[in-house]
Amino acid sequence: MRKIVSKNREEKKRRRNQLTIGGILIGVMILSTLGYALQSNFSSGSSSNAANSTSITYNGFLFAYNNGYWVTSSGGRTFVFRYNPQNIPPADLSNITLKSQTIEGKPLYIYSSDVFATNEIRANLKGIAGSIESSNSSDYNCSRNSIVIENGAQEVRQSGNCVFISGQGENLISLADNVLFKILGIIN
């Protein structure tokens, strides 16, 4: 005989299971991206890695190029970027006031439909923010720390506690890196 379960309880169980599976999938995506980016740090130092590796120093931060990503460390944390601050397309960030100290230990909300820019931000701020919540809804709240990634004309702006990143395709990742450099204090 099957146990009678209310629709409300059944819906809660279904939503909990979906959130659990979604969280696991997001975790796997982030860890695989970081693992791929950092795998050359743990390799035996073959000649192919040596030929593809270069480094720059920018504003006191050492960036090493490994397998298509720029890696730097600060305060015991490792950060991985698609671009380095010297070769990134410029963006006007003069109105961005969100800093790592502002989000440290607090929730950060990301509203986006672009998985690559979202993963770039999530991977770099996961050790700073208390938690990172993602949504592709446009129902954001600028009274809390939020990053909104939108398809549109190239623009980076801040309104309240919301940082808006607008662009198209690969451009969104370069803009996300610009914003991350600003938040982390790599650029002024």
Q: Which has more pLDDT, 133 or 46?
A: 133
Is a pLDDT exceeding 80 seen at residue 124? Answer: yes
Phi, psi of 103 (to 5 degrees): -100, -5
Residue 149 has pLDDT above 80, yes or no: yes
Task: For residue 30, name the pLDDT band (cuts at 50, 70, 90).
Answer: confident
Predicted confidence at residue 36, as pLDDT, reads: 67
Residue 31 pLDDT class (50, 70, 90 cuts): confident
User: Which residues does 151 contact at the CB level (< 8 Å), separation at least 6?
Assistant: 113, 114, 166, 167, 168, 172
Residue 74, both tokens: 């600060």
Which tens digit of pLDDT belongs to each residue from 99-114? 999 899 999 999 998 8
**Closest CA relative to residue 49, chosen from 71, 31, 30:** 71
- Pairwise pLDDT comparison (157 vs 3), residue with the higher score: 157
Q: How far is C-alpha 187 from the geometric centre of its chain's CA atoms?
A: 17
Task: Determine what percent of the chain is predicted with pLDDT higher than 70.
Answer: 90
- Is the pTM above the cut of 0.85? no
Report how far residue 89's alpha carbon sits from residue 78's, in angstroms, rounded to the nearest whole number: 23
Token representation of residue 100: 């790592």
**Whether pLDDT at 50 is above 50:** no
Q: Report how far residue 111's alpha carbon sits from residue 181's, in angstroms, rounded to the nearest whole number.
A: 19
